[in-house]
Structure 1
Amino acid sequence: MSIELKEGELAPIQQQNPYAIAAITKHGVEISRRLHQVFSQTDVYYMDKFSKCDEEIKGIQLFSGSVKLLLPALFQQYKGIILIISLGAVVRMIAPLLKDKKTDPAVVVIDDRGENVISVLSGHIGGANELTREVAAALHARAVITTASDVQKTIPVDLFGSRFGWVWDSAEKLTPVSASVVNEEHTAIVQESGELNWWMYETPLPQNLVIYDSIQEALKAKPNAALIITHRLLNKEEETILQNGIVFRPKSVAIGMGCNRGTTAEEIEKVIIETLSELGISLKSVKALCTIDLKKDEKGLLEVTGKYGWAFVCYSPATLNQAEIHAPSETVYRYTGAYGVSEPAVRIYTGASELELVKKKSGNVTISVGVMSFSKEEFM
């Protein structure tokens, strides 16, 4: 369904995330879709004539008419707006919408080749400068920032890891933790999973940002604030660090799954939620669901992956048989040509030698769970 933009009417958009991406050209659409994959806190809007027929399942909103008529609604509802439109056109379109630098959203412009990301509006107070850096890093583009006073190189807490798809558990402590970081107070960083190359500058980490090997070690140091990056659900003792701390959920967990034909999405979802809870793993850290290519059209799997925005990865029986399988099954082989589905699928995707769950059978579903690892060589 396409949003029909009309003069004098506020566009009926559906906001799900704090940042919006809008594109009006063929190349801009490709950039917006690519950015949406790695920047999960965004809602995407582009012209319906560029529809690829998968927008509904991906949560992308189509529109018809002038993008100028879309901007008033975006200005009212979003914290930041990323426009893949020429800078001159953007300046002319947003001029009538500007009110105050304390309330205007951040506006960032990307050129049609995705080579330059430009901070246009609300650079400092509105966060456009940090948003520009994150978007540029996600696209491997050049960040263009002209604010003379923008010299403090530190972590933008509300955008931390966003280019990798990291999300926070709660926004409650965003403001006080951000204040601690900006005011150069002792801030602990503990990372248990996720991408390691999150530091965007060539200079070393500021001295107030201290990396600890564990939450227990960080607690002993009594920091003013904490950034915890993990797929794990914290225990009660560990949660004390969140008095002025935030848990970031990296997209580092993959689910391997086999199921009987016709298994409902409700049963599949229930097994996933219960299994992750038993393992002490956050649902927010799931990146992909992996299976055999015989299941590429399985309605239940497609519904669940579509609902959560997970990658749906399918492997051929020959590929699955190349992976390590602890309990190969002749029965599964007779029906599928593979000696296993959930276990080898998740091993291939994560590259993990040790899985969080090798295999569990529950009703019509077989599930395996693994955590992706990232090389230390990527860090800083």
Structure 2
Amino acid sequence: MISLQKGLIPKIDQQKPYALVAITKHGVEHARNYIEKFPYADLYYMKKFEHGDEATRHIQLFDGTVRLLLPALFQQYKAIICIISLGAVVRMIAPLLVDKKKDPAVLVVDDKGEYVISVLSGHIGGANALTQEFAETIGAQPVVTTASDVQKTIPVDLFGAKFGWVWDSEEKLTPVSASVVNEEHVAIVQETGEKNWWMHHTPMPENLKLYSSTEEALTAKPHATLLITDRLIEPYEEELLNNGVIFRPKSLVLGMGCNRGTSAEEIEELIDETLLELKLSKKSVKAIATIDLKKDEEGFLQVAAKNNWQFVTYTAEQLNEIPIKNPSETVFNYTGAYGVCEPAALRYANSSEWLLEKKKGTNATISIARIPFDEEVSPKLAT
């Protein structure tokens, strides 16, 4: 628990770029749901609302007035999202303000989760863009009063956040953002992931140009690049990252099977080595899919929880609905399914092709499929 003492800046454990703070019972319940939908924020709330799972979910508790917590949050976070009344927030942050180039973005969300208000550092600090993105994520109405400063363009550090996209590195976020808002030539190359990422009703600015491949983008010599892919880039493409950011959509599905009791370490080692062999990014994995006989397999549960992946299981009947190339009578005799990892991957991905049909480890098997976003079909989750 965070110790709050007057005159002292408390020690906090920052892991994400944004802080989410709640001080009421309803606010806490909303906040716990928000971080599931918006995984870019560390959550802070009062100890009296403790649920018991805070340590495992990296939720930080404090006891006392939130006014004493804010100085530490101001120093360390890019933005602070407060589920606190607007008037109270204004009074508490007033002594902390320095200037618009240094102050973090501050947002306020009402206690019912109906409105998200941009309060501080709307343009330079990114509060306006974050307000739009966060409001859309939680299903609220954004309130941005600095309308003349709102540019209808891409907020680079939030690009694709509503779909769960993450960036590989934050090193170039600031210069790439500058290229976007300064209307310099920005190349966008998308190889996978959701296509409906443009969030405005107006056309994209002319300085943002779509290219069908990295080769085409390299020839165009842009000032900056947004590369949306689940693969590891080749050396010749690194020139695009001199002022570029790689975004990782959640596009990969791991179909898996294992012997009972296989350790999480062995399972993750197989995953890591297989992704590296295929030159795929671990950050683009969305789910582990398997047979329902493994729904309580501790190794799978631990790996999925550690990496914030979905863990989905299917019945043997559901798996047998998916055609596979090499049905196994042996597997059928043990499980009732003619295959586990191969059909599980295809069923979740709604795909008919594997990136990897099947690989056997010592005690586990793995298959990998890519979600075909061109079709924009939702995954077939087990019921």
TM-score (norm 1): 0.91
The answer to whether the 8 A contact 2:323-2:343 is kept is yes
How many Å separate the matches in 2 of 1:343 and 1:61?
40
Say which SS state the counterpart of residue 125 (structure 2) adopts.
coil
The corresponding residue for 1:345 is 344
2:360 is aligned with 1:358: no
Going from structure 1 to structure 2, the CA distance change for 1:233 and 1:46 (only over 3 Å counts) comes to: same
Pairing of 1:97-176 with structure 2 (within 5 A): 97-176=96-175
Letter in 1 for 2:145: T
The corresponding residue for 2:187 is 188
How many Å separate the matches in 2 of 1:294 and 1:62?
38
Residue 161 of structure 1 deviates from its aligned partner by 1.5
2:177 is aligned with 1:178: yes
Residue 337 of structure 1 deviates from its aligned partner by 3.1
The corresponding residue for 2:381 is none
Residue 351 of structure 1 deviates from its aligned partner by 1.1
Q: Percent identity?
A: 64
How many Å separate the matches in 1 of 2:194 and 2:316?
30
The answer to whether the 8 A contact 1:40-1:166 is kept is no
Say which SS state the counterpart of residue 55 (structure 2) adopts.
helix
Going from structure 1 to structure 2, the CA distance change for 1:187 and 1:339 (only over 3 Å counts) comes to: same
The corresponding residue for 1:74 is 73
Residue 52 of structure 1 deviates from its aligned partner by 4.6
Residue 315 of structure 1 deviates from its aligned partner by 2.5
Cα distance per residue 1:85-107 (max 9 Å; x no partner) = 22223223323332332222111
Moved more, 304-313 or 201-210: 304-313
Moved more, 4-13 or 141-150: 4-13
How many Å separate the matches in 1 of 2:284 and 2:376?
23
The answer to whether the 8 A contact 2:254-2:287 is kept is yes
Letter in 2 for 1:313: V
Structure with more relative contact order (C-alpha pairs < 8 Å, separation 6 or more): 1
Moved more, 96-105 or 244-253: 96-105
Residue 4 of structure 1 deviates from its aligned partner by 4.8
The corresponding residue for 1:293 is 292
Letter in 1 for 2:120: L
How many Å separate the matches in 1 of 2:68 and 2:362?
51
How many Å separate the matches in 2 of 1:265 and 1:47?
34
Across the aligned residues of Structure 1 and Structure 2, the Cα RMSD in angstroms comes to: 2.2
Residue 147 of structure 1 deviates from its aligned partner by 1.3
2:204 is aligned with 1:213: no
Say which SS state the counterpart of residue 270 (structure 2) adopts.
helix
Cα distance per residue 1:43-87 (max 9 Å; x no partner) = 122344544544433333334443333322211211111112222
Cα distance per residue 1:122-169 (max 9 Å; x no partner) = 112211111111111212322111115314211111221222222222
Say which SS state the counterpart of residue 106 (structure 2) adopts.
strand
Say which SS state the counterpart of residue 238 (structure 1) adopts.
helix
Residue 5 of structure 1 deviates from its aligned partner by 4.1
Letter in 2 for 1:12: K
TM-score (norm 2): 0.91
The corresponding residue for 2:301 is 302
How many Å separate the matches in 2 of 1:252 and 1:351?
11
Say which SS state the counterpart of residue 227 (structure 1) adopts.
strand
How many Å separate the matches in 1 of 2:67 and 2:357?
52
The answer to whether the 8 A contact 2:255-2:344 is kept is yes
Going from structure 1 to structure 2, the CA distance change for 1:111 and 1:213 (only over 3 Å counts) comes to: same
The answer to whether the 8 A contact 1:196-1:376 is kept is no
How many Å separate the matches in 1 of 2:84 and 2:99?
23
Going from structure 1 to structure 2, the CA distance change for 1:312 and 1:30 (only over 3 Å counts) comes to: farther
Task: Specify every segment of 5 or more residues in structure 2 that has no aligned partner in the other structure, as ranges.
Answer: 378-383
How many Å separate the matches in 1 of 2:26 and 2:186?
41
Task: Specify every segment of 5 or more residues in structure 1 that has no aligned partner in the other structure, as ranges.
Answer: none
The answer to whether the 8 A contact 2:331-2:338 is kept is yes
Cα distance per residue 1:290-314 (max 9 Å; x no partner) = 2223323322222222222222222
